[in-house]
């Protein structure tokens, strides 16, 4: 947890890996995830690297595994052809496994990357299994096609088309019927009638019949009937219907036309025997062949299931091992080869705390090679990556900070403070006991179920977002309950936990309210100056009597607006103070006096004084003086105008003098902030240039340790960094321009950022009013209806359901998202820009964690 406040120290290490043990060493480093390799062959093409052949072999094996998986999916004929084609994409594999009814077992334990000598064995085994699966799959497809043909032939012979009928002789094959027209010439009784029988898809039948009639000019008799039984398509596996047809004709030319037309429509043509007995014999023979073919197909599918069983056992472990092997070879491709070709040289970033573990792993992995692998630190010339370790609780808060930008190396990390400030600022805008409790219970349910496999494996993106931030939601709900008690609001209703501090009875007894007075005045005022009316402040939060007052909204507006300003100034001042730790850590002591101190004077001298006025008026102005209470707004305006208002009495003695001094100090801090740091750096540079060469080198080294590595490097990593040369060659115009931008941004930002915190007041007011409107328009209408008890109970059920749905949809989801985004803005813009640059990059260690998952 110590690294949460500041990133861990990261060192650049050089690894000398013996060639014989390089694969084993990198594999073990991938299992532990200790280092991030640097590419030492950036100028070398990917096709010219040393292990490119091994990488290609792994990629070929991955393609084979994908093909095996795809073949396993095709066992289920219920999948459409378009679905089968998209299965080649690995992103669809898990989804299609479930749709196909196949389950790939998860590997038992963590499988290590296989040694290189096992690659050939895995490849041979995979190729043999893939070829066997291809052969069995091909045989299955051929048998299905043959069975489909036999079933169609049976349907054609078994379908009763009736005796030859006269064909329709009109413009189409329908409507009126007329006797068959015979070809002219010759004895008609000597003509031989021929038959063409087959099957066609139903949507093609009408077009086929029409084209046959027009092409043959009506010299044929065609009969079409739809099959009663559906047949399984051998390609798509879907049940389909077919139309059988029987065409009688005479004349060879007409027969050729019929055969050409049916071929164009992809019809299945079968021999048709005219004698009834011959057709029955052929039908029995077809049924026998179909039965035998089904038995053979059943045996083939049982054998195919056995092959698929072996595939399912091989795929999960094999895919994981091949991915790990490929990752190892890709990491080895980033290493350079020594001049003697006896070892590989790698450079990697590693946390200093992990260096002993790294050395031990290298020794254990290279013990069999006879020569031990070595790792030693080398000076860095680039900014190291940022490493901040997180757990399931802190991950979501660190994600909020990283979404703004990854911190510079060893820069102060805002995440530990965000754990408290983010839920609190959210709760200020979302304060309601009921709404906060619902959010807390929802997050608590996710926290309690976080170890269930079904919860972790959920693929819904919205659910994954909520589940990833479950601890953030938990604290947001908890803090909302707290601020709800402060506002005394539970679903917009006030609760009386403690006795009210106001007494109406005392007011009625001592003010002489008569019946006539009460009849003339619909609104009554409680005077706290009368003895016994105001008994003291409410023990916790807002007094519930304010929910009955007509000036309830005005009172809460004043309270929440001032509270927002107080919280905003404290939050910003805390951000400026956190910058002190950055300056001290990086050895930039001059910034404490030339930047941090002027910033605090400007911020606290103006807006800190405004907070002081609010608190002083709350504590020191009594109810008896409320009529002549001074206006803080007028005092604050007069403070900048160097004037006073005779009608607005001062809050304390010598107030004008204090205000004038604070304004002068705030204005005087601006030129110090603008010119202090540039003049200091330029003066020190001139001082170094006047020194002798030896002393100048020593001072340059000191310069490196103090200001050169302003990008956030640790003390041990500053030597030899490129930022030192930039500091030694300062350009005055750039330094002044950078500081001018920083000064303008801070001074104007103090004003705009303070106003920006008023969103706490606005969002809190909006949430309270939406809750009030929802209660008044839904629940109050149903509760105030003049109905019998039984009827009202029945009516309340749907009304309460509607109230619950609207509460969740509008007040929890929409208002919660709005408050979340505004709290995010306050942290990114108003808080983090006071001390956090976010210009670094994460340490991305070489690890097999993704493959194991």
What's the DSSP call for residue 6? B
Measured in degrees and rounded to the nearest 5, phi and psi for residue 648 equal -115, 100
State yes or no: pLDDT of 746 exceeds 90. Answer: yes
User: Cα–chain-centroid distance for residue 491?
Assistant: 31
pTM of the model: 0.77
Q: Greater confidence, 338 or 6? A: 6
State yes or no: pLDDT of 306 exceeds 90. Answer: no
Q: Which residues pair with 37 in a beta bridge?
A: 348
pLDDT range class, residue 300, cuts 50, 70, 90 = confident
Give tens-digit pLDDT for 272-293: 877 888 888 888 888 888 888 8
pLDDT range class, residue 167, cuts 50, 70, 90 = very low
* Integer Cα distance of 595 and 575 in angstroms: 13
Number of structural domains (the chain) is 1
What is the Cβ-side half-sphere exposure of residue 516, based on CA atoms within 13 angstroms? 0
Is residue 67 situated within a structural domain?
yes
* Integer Cα distance of 343 and 345 in angstroms: 7
The confidence score (pLDDT) of residue 170 equals: 38
State yes or no: pLDDT of 402 exceeds 90. Answer: yes
Q: Greater confidence, 727 or 282? A: 282
* Integer Cα distance of 141 and 151 in angstroms: 15
Average pLDDT on 454-474 reads 88
What's the DSSP call for residue 244? E
- Beta strands (DSSP E) in 220-342 are 221-226, 231-232, 239-240, 243-249, 268-270, 336-337
User: Cα–chain-centroid distance for residue 403?
Assistant: 12
Tokens 């898809």 appear where? Answer: 201
State the DSSP H helix or E strand holding residue 619, giving kind and residue range, or none if neither.
helix 609-620
pLDDT range class, residue 425, cuts 50, 70, 90 = very high
Is residue 135 situated within a structural domain?
no
The confidence score (pLDDT) of residue 195 equals: 86
Full domain range(s) for residue 341: 10-120+317-377
What is the Cβ-side half-sphere exposure of residue 843, based on CA atoms within 13 angstroms? 27
Closest by CA to 383, choosing from 346, 411, 415, is 411
Tokens 């953030």 appear where? Answer: 472
Radius of gyration of the chain (CA): 43
Contact 420/826 with Cβ under 8 angstroms? Answer: no
Out of 193-207, 225-239, 444-458, 551-565, least confident range: 225-239
DSSP notation for 20-37: TTHHHHHHHHHHHT-EEE
The confidence score (pLDDT) of residue 67 equals: 65
Closest by CA to 683, choosing from 710, 719, 707, 712, is 707
* Integer Cα distance of 407 and 401 in angstroms: 8
Closest by CA to 1, choosing from 578, 350, 388, 418, is 388
Contact 12/347 with Cβ under 8 angstroms? Answer: yes
State yes or no: pLDDT of 818 exceeds 90. Answer: yes
The confidence score (pLDDT) of residue 160 equals: 62
State yes or no: pLDDT of 82 exceeds 60. Answer: no
836 — alpha (psi -120 to 50), left (phi > 0) or beta?
Answer: beta
* Integer Cα distance of 186 and 381 in angstroms: 106
The confidence score (pLDDT) of residue 89 equals: 37
Q: Greater confidence, 685 or 315? A: 685
Those residues with Cβ within 8 angstroms of residue 114's Cβ, 6 or more apart along the chain or in another chain: 122, 321, 324, 325
Average pLDDT on 125-134 reads 80
The confidence score (pLDDT) of residue 580 equals: 94
Is residue 23 situated within a structural domain?
yes
Q: Greater confidence, 451 or 625? A: 451
pLDDT range class, residue 107, cuts 50, 70, 90 = low
Tokens 């309830």 appear where? Answer: 552
Is residue 57 situated within a structural domain?
yes
* Integer Cα distance of 110 and 253 in angstroms: 74
Count the Cβ atoms, other than its own, within 10 Å of residue 275.
Answer: 8
Dihedral of CA atoms 841, 842, 848, 853 in degrees, nearest 10, equals -110
DSSP notation for 488-526: T-BTTB---SS--SB-HHHHHHHHT--HHHHHH-SS---
Q: Greater confidence, 345 or 510? A: 345
Give tens-digit pLDDT for 638-682: 899 888 888 888 888 888 999 999 999 999 999 999 999 999 988
Give tens-digit pLDDT for 589-618: 899 999 999 999 999 999 999 999 999 998
Measured in degrees and rounded to the nearest 5, phi and psi for residue 251 equal 100, 130
State yes or no: pLDDT of 79 exceeds 50. Answer: no
* Integer Cα distance of 606 and 659 in angstroms: 9
User: What 3-state class would DSSP assign to 683?
Assistant: helix
pLDDT range class, residue 357, cuts 50, 70, 90 = very high
Is residue 702 situated within a structural domain?
no
The confidence score (pLDDT) of residue 461 equals: 87
Q: Greater confidence, 726 or 852? A: 852
Alpha helices, DSSP H only, in 265-376? 276-332, 355-365
Give tens-digit pLDDT for 502-532: 888 788 777 777 777 777 777 777 878 777 7
Is residue 22 situated within a structural domain?
yes
Q: Greater confidence, 571 or 146? A: 571
The confidence score (pLDDT) of residue 693 equals: 55
Pairing of strands 243-249, 343-351: unpaired
Is residue 639 situated within a structural domain?
no
User: What 3-state class would DSSP assign to 622?
Assistant: coil
Contact 14/346 with Cβ under 8 angstroms? Answer: yes
Count the Cβ atoms, other than its own, within 10 Å of residue 195.
Answer: 16
The confidence score (pLDDT) of residue 582 equals: 93
What average pLDDT does the chain have? Answer: 82
What is the Cβ-side half-sphere exposure of residue 546, based on CA atoms within 13 angstroms? 19
Measured in degrees and rounded to the nearest 5, phi and psi for residue 146 equal -65, -45
Average pLDDT on 182-206 reads 72
Tokens 């989801």 appear where? Answer: 813
The confidence score (pLDDT) of residue 496 equals: 87
Tokens 């054609």 appear where? Answer: 156
Q: Greater confidence, 174 or 654? A: 654
Q: Greater confidence, 97 or 337? A: 337
State yes or no: pLDDT of 187 exceeds 60. Answer: no
The confidence score (pLDDT) of residue 499 equals: 87
Query: Angle, nearest 10°, between helix axes 117-158 and 276-332?
Result: 160
User: What 3-state class would DSSP assign to 38?
Assistant: strand
Is residue 657 situated within a structural domain?
no
Pairing of strands 336-337, 231-232: unpaired
Q: Greater confidence, 525 or 715? A: 525
Tokens 């801090």 appear where? Answer: 669
Which two three-digit tokens encode residue 244?
């059988």
- Beta strands (DSSP E) in 67-155 are none
Out of 6-20, 44-58, 309-323, 645-659, least confident range: 309-323
The confidence score (pLDDT) of residue 694 equals: 53
The confidence score (pLDDT) of residue 250 equals: 79
End-to-end CA distance of the chain: 25
Contact 416/7 with Cβ under 8 angstroms? Answer: no
The confidence score (pLDDT) of residue 529 equals: 77
State yes or no: pLDDT of 715 exceeds 80. Answer: no
State the DSSP H helix or E strand holding residue 16, giving kind and residue range, or none if neither.
strand 10-18
Contact 258/196 with Cβ under 8 angstroms? Answer: yes
């Amino acid at each position: 947890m110590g690294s949460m406040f500041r990133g861990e120290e990261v060192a650049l290490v050089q690894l000398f890996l013996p060639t014989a043990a390089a694969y084993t060493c990198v594999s073990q480093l991938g299992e532990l995830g200790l280092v991030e390799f640097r590419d030492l062959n950036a100028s070398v093409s990917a096709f010219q690297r040393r292990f490119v052949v091994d990488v290609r072999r792994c990629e070929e094996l991955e393609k084979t595994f994908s093909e095996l998986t795809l073949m396993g999916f095709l066992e289920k004929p219920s999948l459409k052809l378009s679905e089968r084609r998209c299965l080649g994409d690995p992103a669809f594999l898990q989804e299609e496994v479930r749709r196909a009814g196949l389950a790939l077992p998860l590997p038992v334990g963590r499988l290590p990357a296989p040694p290189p000598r096992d690659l050939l064995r895995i490849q041979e085994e995979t190729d043999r299994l893939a070829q066997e699966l291809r052969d069995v799959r091909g045989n299955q497809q051929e048998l299905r096609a043959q069975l489909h043909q036999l079933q169609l032939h049976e349907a054609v012979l078994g379908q009763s088309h009736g005796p030859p009928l006269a064909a329709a002789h009109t413009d189409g094959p329908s409507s009126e019927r007329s006797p068959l027209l015979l070809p002219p010439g010759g004895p008609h009784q000597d003509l031989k009638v021929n038959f063409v029988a087959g099957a066609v898809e139903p949507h093609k039948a009408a077009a086929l019949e029409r084209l046959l009639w027009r092409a043959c000019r009506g010299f044929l008799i065609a009969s079409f009937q739809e099959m009663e039984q559906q047949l399984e398509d051998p390609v798509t596996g879907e049940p389909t219907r077919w139309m059988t047809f029987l065409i009688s004709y005479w004349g060879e030319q007409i027969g050729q036309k019929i055969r050409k037309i049916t071929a164009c429509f992809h019809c299945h043509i079968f021999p048709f025997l005219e004698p009834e007995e011959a057709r029955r014999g052929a039908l029995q023979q077809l049924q026998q062949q179909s039965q035998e073919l089904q038995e053979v197909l059943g045996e083939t599918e049982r054998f195919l299931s056995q092959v698929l069983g072996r595939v399912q056992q091989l795929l999960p472990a094999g895919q994981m091992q091949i991915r790990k092997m490929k990752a190892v070879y890709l990491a080895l491709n980033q290493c350079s080869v020594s001049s003697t070709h006896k070892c590989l040289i790698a450079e990697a970033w590693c946390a200093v705390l992990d260096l002993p573990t790294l050395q031990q792993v290298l020794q254990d992995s290279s013990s069999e090679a006879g020569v031990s692998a070595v790792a030693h630190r080398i000076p860095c010339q680039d900014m190291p990556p940022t490493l901040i370790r997180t757990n399931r609780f802190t991950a979501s808060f660190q994600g909020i900070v990283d979404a703004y930008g990854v911190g510079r190396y060893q820069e102060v990390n805002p995440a530990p403070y965000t754990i408290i400030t983010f839920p609190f600022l959210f709760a200020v805008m979302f304060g309601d006991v009921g709404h906060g409790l619902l959010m807390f219970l929802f997050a608590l349910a996710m926290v309690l179920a976080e170890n269930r496999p079904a919860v972790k494996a959920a693929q819904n993106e919205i659910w994954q977002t909520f589940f990833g931030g479950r601890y953030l939601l938990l604290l947001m709900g908890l803090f909302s309950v707290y601020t709800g008690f402060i506002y005394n609001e539970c679903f917009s209703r006030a609760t009386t936990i403690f006795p009210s501090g106001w007494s109406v009875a005392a007011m009625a007894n001592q003010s002489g309210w008569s019946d006539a007075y009460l009849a003339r005045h619909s609104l009554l005022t409680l005077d706290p100056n009368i003895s016994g009316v105001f008994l003291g402040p409410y023990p916790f939060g807002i007094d519930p009597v304010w929910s009955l007052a007509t000036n309830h909204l005005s009172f809460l507006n004043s309270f929440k607006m001032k509270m927002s300003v107080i919280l905003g100034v404290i939050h910003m001042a805390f951000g400026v103070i956190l910058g002190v730790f950055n300056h001290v850590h990086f050895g930039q002591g001059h910034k404490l006096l030339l930047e941090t101190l002027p910033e605090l004077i400007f911020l606290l001298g103006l807006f800190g004084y405004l907070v002081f006025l609010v608190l002083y008026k709350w504590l020191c102005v009594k109810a008896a003086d409320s009529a002549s209470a001074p206006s803080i707004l007028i005092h604050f305006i007069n403070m900048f105008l160097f004037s006073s208002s005779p009608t607005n009495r001062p809050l304390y003695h010598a107030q004008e003098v204090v205000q004038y001094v604070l304004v002068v100090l705030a204005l005087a801090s601006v030129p110090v902030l603008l010119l202090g740091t540039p003049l200091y750096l330029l003066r020190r540079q001139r001082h170094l240039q006047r020194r002798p060469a030896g002393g100048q080198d020593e001072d340059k080294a000191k310069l490196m340790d103090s200001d050169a590595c302003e990008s956030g490097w640790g003390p041990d990593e500053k030597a030899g960094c490129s930022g030192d040369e930039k500091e030694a060659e300062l350009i005055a115009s750039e330094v002044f321009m950078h500081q001018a931008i920083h000064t303008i941004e801070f001074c104007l930002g103090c004003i705009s950022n303070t106003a920006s915190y008023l969103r706490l007041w606005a969002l809190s007011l909006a949430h309270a009013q939406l809750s009030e409107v929802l209660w008044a328009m839904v629940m109050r209408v149903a509760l105030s209806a003049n109905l019998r008890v039984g009827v009202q109970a029945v009516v309340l059920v749907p009304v309460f359901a509607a109230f619950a749905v609207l509460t969740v949809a509008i007040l929890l989801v929409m208002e919660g998202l709005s408050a979340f985004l505004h709290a995010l803005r306050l942290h990114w813009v108003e808080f983090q820009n006071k001390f956090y640059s976010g210009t670094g990059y994460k340490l991305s260690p070489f690890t097999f964690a993704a493959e194991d998952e």
